[in-house]
Structure 1
Amino acid sequence: MLDARFVRENLELVETAMKNRNHEWDSARFTELDEARRAAITEQEALQAERNAKSKEIGKLMGQGKKDEAEAAKEQVRVVNEKLEALTAKREAAEGELHHILMTTPNIPHETTPVGKDETENPEVRRWGTPRDFEAEGMEMKPHWDLGADLNIIDADRAIKLSGSRFVLLGGMGARLERALMNFMVDSHAAHGFKEWWTPYLVNKQTMTGTGQLPKFEEDLFKTKDESLYLIPTAEVPLTNIHAGDVLDAKDLPLYYTAFTPCFREEAGSAGRDTRGIIRVHQFDKVEMVKFATPETSYDELESLTNEAEYILQQLKLPYRVISLCTGDLGFSAAKTYDVEVWMPSYNAYKEISSCSCCGDFQARRANIKYRDPENFKGTRYVHTLNGSGLAIGRCMAALMENYQNADGTITVPDVLVPYMGGVKVIEPQK
């Protein structure tokens, strides 16, 4: 969340940032509430001082035997207490609305985030690899949902029978490939200094609030009947909140964490090809990366985090591009984001497979994650948090199937995955 003092002292900057983010921001209402809160506090302090003075006077009058005067002073204290009670209610109401405004206000974009209205204005940063030209090869390209059905490794009909639309059932080498990708990704990140975690998939409301899913995105989440626990939409949620309420040591930063988890989201996309296959589903697997860094290094860490996601695609030899999200397409908690998009032949386009973001101190302020560095400053400061997919496994699997398909309907396994597939080099029709 944003710091109220920062907002107060930088109203014009915040107004511009929210306009660039297409977020409705009522600067006048914020100022009205902020001034009401501060005025109430000032008046409360004056009344408390008056009450303390009167209380001392009552004791003195009682000691002097001046009972009538003491009773009058008590009446004055009672009136002051009533005023204080009314002021407290007024202050709490202002604070409550202010808190809600700040909790539902998105992060301020970093100065290097391009200004744009929506996803159509996201600039491309770089590309890697060359997409296959199936027509030049004299070969008919099949989408992954048809390949999966023909090979009997994706069973859409039984997934619908079990759970409904937008769920996936993998069998045989489909399940094996999913597991191979998971292990390969986690092993790669661990080899590059990321500490592996195995986290809960259900978390409480405070944890969801810490990373920004609540209160703004309540309707997009799956939750238990009494709403005490929520199914995680990404491992970013438990990984980041591992240090909620902690004060870290600067000498231990940056921290690199990774975890595999299933992820659960209410996907409400339009009808069309996104409803087929394994691109946009309610439950999917993902390997996530999270970093904790100092403000001085966090944006360099974002570059290396993005490179880490790219490394996975390079090892799999899947063509991709990197785009920088503009202000109008930026996620709620992010100050700057790179999307890594893999080439999907069935779409004849690049599709997001990883989103790597630096959130500045936005999440750390919500989750109260600080660090101390006594050699450089007194007290504590908020850390900067970063997160990125490394990668979304279902989308990676879909891209692999389409890009590695053969004319006979089989799928070649990328060399780097063969050891994880028990030596299998080609996925053939399954029983």
Structure 2
Amino acid sequence: MHDIRAIRADPDAFDRAMARRGQPAQSNDLLEVDDVRRRNIGEAQSQQEHANQQAKLIGQMRKAGEDTALLEAQSRSFKDTQVALEHSAKVAEGRLTSLMSLLPNILDAEVPEGRDESDNVVLYTHGEPARFNFVAREHFEIGEALGLMDFAGAAKIAGSRFVVLKGVLARLERALGQWMLDLHTGEHGYTEHVVPLLVNDATMYGTGQLPKFAEDLFATTDGRYLIPTAEVPLTNLVRDTILGPADLPIRATALTPSFRSEAGSAGRDTRGMLRQHQFTKVELVSIVAPDASDAEHERMTACAERVLTELGLTWRRVFLCAGDTGFSAARTYDLEVWLPGQQAWREISSCSNCRDFQARRMKARVKIGKDNVLVHTLNGSGVAVGRALIAVLETHQDADGGVAVPPALRPYMGGLERIARG
């Protein structure tokens, strides 16, 4: 959500910021509604003052034994007008909030210009893409050949974009999630949470999923939503809260299923596990003071990068351009992993600094001196477990159809060093 005072102070700057996002000029419409709201508030206050003056005069006249009927009628008229004006102000405020709730965050000045992912900027690469003396298989070819990845069974019970993992592959996915949690809590200072997978609309609104992205969500019949990421419940824990300076930073993590309708992705990544309706993810969320969010963004991204390095994967950090940066983010780093089977880089984590955009929606503040200041919120995948499984299978495959288990995961796999065909 945006600060209408900042828009009022420099509407041209706001329109330029929205133009970077491909949005048309919005300030005139916003300020027109804001003007109605402010005018009604001012006039309501004037009516209140008139009513207060009348009340004093009525009191004086009653003491003097004078007739106050005419003044009392005028006073009721002032109050009726005040109520009507206050209602009009609330209607205008609702309209203003509705308009602004559909507008994306203002991008940081450093965000690269560009229209789509082809304009993203690779900052650096870790490792070299794996080379094999055989034709590298994609993850679903490996999993199906092992007899441990069942798409047909999943489609029978749930439809497309689901998978059933079995045996040692199911254990490998569990191992990935548990190891990531242990790494982030034990070495990176995050506190583990178990959070609701169903949340209300106020929670979805707070982090920016509603109202703009309703079609991407799975809704229940009682007004709740399945979470698309643990970012949603973790960040909303500070909604309607005034924190103390000693409360920050808050660093939270959770391993949860995530649910996305994948609206608009028909025909994309239809084979395999890359784009599914249900997937598991380790999420990282930070709540910090405004002057700490730049450093926290770098820190969070480094925590996710550590996961990929420990798994022996080839990865790169990418600075998303203006046209590819998400709705709530002011800046985003994507981590992309090299998939030998696909011969392509694929996103495995996004780490975003949302500045005070979500905090304004959530009314999440910290007391600094005498002022209550909006906090800054950050979120990142630490990382997507299903995509990490894909990357491990494709990166560590061998000519016999087996897969080497990365050393970091072996304690979670009962010491198993290699997944082999049965």
**Structure 1-normalised TM-score?**
0.94
Structure 1: which 5+ residue stretches go unaligned?
none
Q: Deviations over 1:265-321 (max 9, x none)?
A: 111354556111110000000000011111112111101111111100000010011
Q: What is the distance in 2 between the residues matched to 1:209 and 1:34?
A: 21
Q: What residue number does 2:183 align with?
A: 188
Q: What residue number does 1:324 align with?
A: 319
Distance change in 2, residues 1:33/1:272 (3 Å):
closer
Equivalent residues in 2 for 1:47-126 (5 A)?
47-67=47-67, 70-126=68-124
Q: Which amino acid aligns with 1:38?
A: R
Q: What is the distance in 2 between the residues matched to 1:149 and 1:35?
A: 62
Distance change in 2, residues 1:272/1:344 (3 Å):
farther
Q: What residue number does 1:226 align with?
A: 222
Q: What residue number does 1:345 align with?
A: 340
Q: Is 1:213–2:209 an aligned residue pair?
A: yes
Offset at residue 59 of structure 1 (A) = 2.9
Q: Deviations over 1:16-37 (max 9, x none)?
A: 1110011244221111111111
Q: What residue number does 1:44 align with?
A: 44
Runs of 4+ deviating beyond 6 Å: none
Q: What residue number does 1:310 align with?
A: 305
Equivalent residues in 2 for 1:313-392 (5 A)?
313-373=308-368, 377-392=369-384
Equivalent residues in 2 for 1:252-291 (5 A)?
252-272=247-267, 274-291=269-286
Distance change in 2, residues 1:240/1:270 (3 Å):
closer
Deviates more, 1:324-333 or 1:72-81: 72-81
Q: Which amino acid aligns with 2:127?
A: G
Q: What is the distance in 2 between the residues matched to 1:273 and 1:359?
A: 28
Provide the aligned C-alpha RMSD in A: 1.5
Q: Is 1:150–2:148 an aligned residue pair?
A: no
Q: Deviations over 1:224-280 (max 9, x none)?
A: 1021x2111101111111122222222342221111000001113545561111100
Q: Which amino acid aligns with 1:80?
A: F
Q: Is 1:199–2:191 an aligned residue pair?
A: no
Structure 2: which 5+ residue stretches go unaligned?
none
Q: Deviations over 1:298-357 (max 9, x none)?
A: 111101111111100000010011110111111111111000001112332111100001
Distance change in 2, residues 1:108/1:182 (3 Å):
same
Distance change in 2, residues 1:271/1:141 (3 Å):
farther
Q: Work out the percentage of aligned pairs sharing the same amino acid.
A: 46
Q: What is the distance in 2 between the residues matched to 1:273 and 1:233?
A: 19
Q: What residue number does 1:14 align with?
A: 14
Offset at residue 63 of structure 1 (A) = 3.4
Offset at residue 48 of structure 1 (A) = 0.8
Number of aligned residue pairs: 421
Q: What is the distance in 1 between the residues matched to 2:353 and 2:250?
A: 14
Q: What is the distance in 2 between the residues matched to 1:171 and 1:181?
A: 15
Q: Which amino acid aligns with 2:29?
A: R
Q: Which amino acid aligns with 2:194?
A: W
Q: Which amino acid aligns with 1:14?
A: F
Q: What residue number does 1:164 align with?
A: 159
Q: 1:248 aligns with which of 243, 268, 273?
A: 243
CA contact (8 A) 2:15 2:24 kept: no
Q: What is the distance in 1 between the residues matched to 2:117 and 2:22?
A: 12
Q: What is the distance in 2 between the residues matched to 1:143 and 1:179?
A: 21
User: Residue 38 of structure 1 aligns to a residue in which SS?
Assistant: helix
CA contact (8 A) 2:45 2:82 kept: no
CA contact (8 A) 2:44 2:83 kept: no
Deviates more, 1:258-267 or 1:77-86: 77-86
**Structure 2-normalised TM-score?**
0.96
Q: Which amino acid aligns with 1:399?
A: A
Q: What is the distance in 2 between the residues matched to 1:187 and 1:23?
A: 42
Q: What is the distance in 1 between the residues matched to 2:264 and 2:414?
A: 37
Q: 1:426 aligns with which of 404, 418, 422?
A: 418
